[in-house]
Amino acid sequence: METPDSETQASLSKAIACLQSKAPPSEVLPPTTAIVHARKALAPRLPSAGLGLQGTIRHLQEDLTPAFNESSRSSNYYGFVTGGVTPAASVADNFVTAYDQNVQVHLPNESIATDIEDRALSLLCELLDFQPEVWPHRVFTTGATASNILGLACGREYVIAEASAHRTDAENSVGEYGIVDAMHRAGIDKIQILTTVPHSSLSKAASILGLGRASVKDIGQQDAPHKFDTRMLKNLLEQSSSASIVAVSASEVNTGLFATSCLEEMQELRKLCDMYGAWIHIDGAFGILGRVLDDPQYASITNACAGLELADSITGDGHKLLNVPYDCGFFISRHRNIAARVFQNPNAAYLATSNGPDSIMSPLNIGLENSRRFRALPVYASLLAYGKAGYRHMLERQIELSRGIANFILESDTYELLPESGGSTEEILSGIYIIVLFRAKDEELNKSLVDKIKATRKIYVSGTAWKGKPACRFAVSNWKTDIKRDLPLIKEVLQSVADSS
Ligand SMILES: *Cc1c(COP(=O)(O)O)cnc(C)c1O
Q: Which of 82, 140, 145, 313 to mutate to test the pocket of ligand 1 (most atoms within 8 A of CB)?
A: 145
d(CA 451, CA 27): 7
Where residue 32 falls (left for φ over 0; alpha for ψ -120 to 50; beta otherwise) is: beta
Which DSSP string corresponds to 70-120?
-GGG-TTB-STT-----HHHHHHHHHHHHH----SS--TTT-SHHHHHHHH
d(CA 416, CA 430): 17
Q: State the burial class of residue 456 (Cβ atoms within 10 Å of its Cβ: 0-12, 13-18, 19+).
A: middle
Separation of CA 479 and ligand 1 centre (Å): 18
Domains 98-382 and 387-500 belong to one CATH topology: no
d(CA 363, CA 68): 33
Residue from 379, 392, 389, 312 nearest 122 by CA = 379
Cis peptide before 419 (omega within 30 of 0): yes
201 ligand 1 Cβ < 6 A? yes
Please name the residue whose Cα sits nearest to atom 9 of ligand 1: 145
The predicted pLDDT at position 18 comes to 43
435 ligand 1 Cβ < 6 A? no
331 ligand 1 Cβ < 6 A? no
The predicted pLDDT at position 501 comes to 80
The predicted pLDDT at position 280 comes to 98
209 ligand 1 Cβ < 6 A? no
The predicted pLDDT at position 32 comes to 87
149 ligand 1 Cβ < 6 A? no
Single-letter code of the amino acid located at 10: A
Tell which CATH classification among 3.40.50.410, 1.20.1050.10, 3.90.1150.10, 2.60.40.2550 matches the domain 387-500. 3.90.1150.10
What letters, b where the CB count within 10 A reaches 16 and e where it falls short, cover 205-215?
Answer: bbeebebeeeb
d(CA 232, CA 228): 8
Residue from 356, 362, 328 nearest 344 by CA = 362
Please name the residue whose Cα sits nearest to atom 14 of ligand 1: 285
Separation of CA 285 and ligand 1 centre (Å): 5
End-to-end CA distance of the chain: 56
Q: What are the boundaries of each domain within the chain? A: 98-382, 387-500
Q: pLDDT per residue over 11-65, tens digit each?
A: 444 444 444 444 444 455 788 899 999 999 999 999 999 999 999 999 999 999 9
CA distances (Å), 215 to each of 235, 270, 313, in order?
Answer: 16, 21, 19
Ligand 1 atom index nearest CA of 251: 13
Q: In angstroms, how far is CA 340 from the centroid of its own chain?
A: 24
291 ligand 1 Cβ < 6 A? no
Separation of CA 289 and ligand 1 centre (Å): 13
The predicted pLDDT at position 357 comes to 66
Helix and strand counts by DSSP (H, E) for the chain: 17, 11
Q: Which fold has domain 98-382?
A: Aspartate Aminotransferase; domain 2 (3.40.640)
Ligand 1 atom index nearest CA of 287: 13
Instruction: Kindly report the pTM of this predicted structure.
Output: 0.92
Separation of CA 72 and ligand 1 centre (Å): 16
d(CA 450, CA 345): 47
d(CA 493, CA 489): 6
Residues of the chain with pLDDT under 50: 1-4, 6-26
Single-letter code of the amino acid located at 167: R
d(CA 47, CA 109): 43
255 ligand 1 Cβ < 6 A? no
Please name the residue whose Cα sits nearest to atom 10 of ligand 1: 144
226 ligand 1 Cβ < 6 A? no
d(CA 194, CA 331): 20
Q: Which of 141, 200, 252, 253 to mutate to test the pocket of ligand 1 (most atoms within 8 A of CB)?
A: 253
The predicted pLDDT at position 355 comes to 52
